[in-house]
Every structure is written in structure tokens, then in C-alpha cells.
Amino acid sequence: MKEKLTNTEWEVCECLWEESPLTMTQIASRLSGRTGWTRSTGETLVRRMADKGLLRWEQGRKAKLFYPTVAREDAVVRETRGFLQKVFGGSVGLLVNTMAEREELSREEIDQLYEALRKLEDKRHD
């Protein structure tokens, strides 16, 4: 993936990350329920994303079946890096420090951070 997904592209991918493959009709229906978009808006987005290579399709028995070409994890990492660079100059430490200073982290989030840091430290010592 060369560039970040737009908000609308993210919505389409969310549908397909949750369940793939889906037909154009299924995607449009799910998008309508999530976003209120019309069926034609959903179909237009799917076609554009397929043209951009963000989705691939196979011919099913009655309709095309669509799959995302971008893994959710890859999109999340790209989005996170962009956010960190834009808002915190690329510094994870500054992000965490900002949240900690404002007491915006729950006990569960603090535990998750400790666990992630332990795993990273273990990898670096191997």
C-alpha cells in the first residue's frame, strides 16, 4: 500500500476485513447501515477502490466477490505512523507521555503498554 486510505476507503475495507468475500450488493448494504450512504455511493466507492488496486475481485456464481488487497494490520501501522509523525513528530514516547500527564490512560491500557514493552524488550535480547 503506497498511501493511506481515505476515510471512505477505510469504511469499505472495514466491511471486508470483518468478512470476505462480499458481493457489491452486500458491501453497499453494510455501508448503508453503517454510514447512511446510498447504495449507488457504496457501489461507486467499491468500483473506484478496485480500479486503484485496493480491492480485488473474483467472479462468483452470480456476482463478483470482493476482497481487500490491504491487510488491516498494514493499514493500521501506516495510519499510526502518519498520525505520530503529524502530531508528535514521530515520537511514541511523547504520545504516551502526553496521555500519562493528562491521566488519560486506564489501568488496562497501562497494563497493555507494559506488556507490549516487555515483549519488545524480550525480542531485543534474543
Taking only the tens place, the pLDDT of each residue in 56-111 is 999 999 999 999 999 999 999 999 999 999 999 999 889 988 888 888 888 999 89
Strand order in the sheet with 22-23: 22-23, 64-68, 55-59
Per-residue pLDDT band for 2 (boundaries 50, 70, 90) equals: low
Question: What is the pTM (predicted TM-score) of this model?
Answer: 0.77
Strand-pairing partners, residue 64, are: 59
Place of cell 468478512: 19
4-25 per-position pLDDT tens digit: 899 999 999 999 999 999 999 9
pLDDT at 39: 87
Tell whether the model's pLDDT for residue 3 goes beyond 80: no
Per-residue pLDDT band for 1 (boundaries 50, 70, 90) equals: low
What element of type H or E holds 103? none
